[in-house]
Amino acid sequence: MRSVLVAALLVVPSIAASQETASDTLLTVNHYLDWEQVADPQMSPDGSQILYTRRWVNKIEDRWDAGLWIMNADGSKNRFLVKGSNARWSPDGTRIAYFADGEPKGTQVFVRWMDAEGATSQITHVSETPSNLSWSPDGRSLAFAMLVKSETPWKISMPAAPEGAKWTPAPRIVDRLHYRRDRTGYVEQGTTQIFLVPAEGGTPRQLTKGDFGTSELGGFGAPSYDWTPDGHTIVFDGLREADADYRYRESYLYAVDVQSGAVRQLVSKKGGWTAPVVSPDGRTVAFTGHEYGTFSYHADEVWAVGIDGSGMRALTTYDRDLGNVRWSFDGRRLLRAGRAGDEQRLLRRRARWQPPRHRGRADAVALIDLA
């Protein structure tokens, strides 16, 4: 009994010490439910307005909710616009497409006119969650990625269940290497495909098909993709091979014809190639990645290849990963964000790559001249 009492006395101070002291001046766990986030800023085509997503904690339903806010480019007139997230301006700036809860359930695609009336239409009525929303260059269609489910059948014969019976569900059959992930648990079996839907609404058309990996490390995420300026082709990443589940460190670039759905491989060099971005003239595709190797880690570099798959070349050699690649309006340069030291800033790169000259925690976004 004495030993139990001593043990209890040792435990109680430890529990008390683990309780955080409330504070009005320090960030503590008590402030978590008041936390808000802003993300995904989108500049209007004419450069006059910025649209962004604002997220907050729904304390009643224990989830994150999101709304779209808009402000002038100089920061003035910041105001709430509509409930939703991940908005994208139409090419002419007259509309926005975004995600919001809709019918029959869950996340759907909506389009809102950006005039005084602000008319809004629900564009999709899908059963799975869409992602990676993008306008076609002519503003007539919307592309998005969505899971197409598949399942491994239960092959043992069982008697038919009587009508209204509540039998134990059939077991989950797992025959894949990647079937769950951290912070998610079991993932739905299937492949994330690219779909097209008219911007005025209608039935989505599945553009890509087949059971394949959509990204590196098991293909859990949606493919990255970009349109060619003429709207005839979409370039995307993935691994369109039957054994993609076992080659999870590989990813390649493909081009799909929007009209026919025909797919051709754009980059076949073995490696992890992702995030394609088509140049304004449609002749070149910039992307990130690295050649295949036995290393445990390799910083991604910026590469370029012709839209016909020719002339693949590395544009950078850097010692850390950089951010998203973007083309300049004239197509002669690439802008890419990254991190140097503890901050994220701008780096400039000319035609022949040279390491940046750092000043303290120097620059970290690159301009890469292709001329």
Would you give the DSSP letter of residue 330?
A: T
List the domains of the chain with CATH numbers: 32-153+171-209 (2.120.10.30), 212-371 (2.120.10.30)
Beta bridge mates, 42:
51
Mean pLDDT by 10-residue block, N- to C-terminus, for the chain (371 residues)?
50 56 80 88 95 93 93 96 96 96 95 93 95 96 92 80 87 81 80 94 92 56 89 92 77 94 93 92 92 80 92 84 80 72 42 37 50 55
Which candidate, 358, 29, 266, 38, places its Cα nearest to that of 347?
Answer: 358
Residue 77 identity: K
Q: What is the pLDDT of residue 221?
A: 65
pTM: 0.81
Q: What is the pLDDT of residue 18?
A: 61
Tokens encoding 67: 């709304």
- What whole-number distance in Å separates Cα of residue 343 and Cα of residue 149? 41
Beta bridge mates, 236:
225, 254
- What whole-number distance in Å separates Cα of residue 194 and Cα of residue 202? 16
Tell me the backbone φ, ψ of residue 167, rounded to 5 degrees. Answer: -85, 160
- What whole-number distance in Å separates Cα of residue 150 and Cα of residue 194? 16
Judge contact between 223 and 212, C-beta under 8 A: no
- What whole-number distance in Å separates Cα of residue 186 and Cα of residue 175? 13
First to last CA, the chain: 83
Distance of CA 140 to the CA centre of its chain: 23
Q: What is the pLDDT of residue 155?
A: 79
Q: What is the pLDDT of residue 354?
A: 37
How many CB atoms are closer than 10 A to CB 68? Answer: 23
Q: What is the pLDDT of residue 332?
A: 83
Distance of CA 31 to the CA centre of its chain: 28
